[in-house]
Amino acid sequence: MPAYVRSDPFCMARVRPEEKEQSNRLICVETSCAAADGEKMLDDKGEPLAKRQNIHRRLREYPADLEPAREMCAMLADCAPLEPFTLQATEPDGTPINLSGRYRVKEEKLEHLNAVWHMNPVNEKA
């Protein structure tokens, strides 16, 4: 399951007072999911409970998970393994059907992608 789905309805926001990037991030929650009688995230001493710790861990991991995904997308973009095509078929009554806007894998590009993949392996977490 993608990290952004596991973290929903929470996300991290960059803190940029006066346009200066800060190392700390702000944990945000979708307002439609917030409720006064919702689940507690802190104990009576203000310490994070296990659920909040798990959410925070996932949110911290999310940016690190993006880099392998970016690398893989760059490899796919360089390889260009997809090509557009129009699917042509015939109805039982003989009426022709043309479905455009479809894509298929170019078989000859798969070997190139395989070679690129082995030369530049993407982090296994992606």
Q: Give tens-digit pLDDT for 70-119.
A: 887 787 787 888 889 998 999 999 999 999 988 888 888 877 777 766 66
70, 40 contact by CB (below 8 A): no
pLDDT of residue 1: 61
For 61: left if phi > 0, alpha if psi spans -120 to 50, otherwise beta; the answer is: alpha
Distance CA 64, CA 71 (A): 12
Distance CA 59, CA 124 (A): 19
Look at the block and give the residue holding tokens 């129009």.
Answer: 86
pLDDT of residue 82: 85
pLDDT of residue 121: 59
Burial 85-112 (b: 16+ CB within 10 A, else e): eeeeeeeeeeeeeeeeeeeeeeeebeee
pLDDT at 124 over 60: no
pLDDT of residue 126: 41
Distance CA 12, CA 26 (A): 5
Tokens standing for residue 26? 């702000």
Cβ neighbourhood burial of 52 (10 Å; 0-12, 13-18, 19+): middle
If you average pLDDT over residues 53-76, what whole number do you get?
Answer: 80
Distance CA 4, CA 30 (A): 13
What is the average pLDDT value for the chain, to the nearest integer?
80
For residue range 6-44, list pLDDT tens digits in order.
677 888 887 887 877 777 778 888 888 777 788 888 899
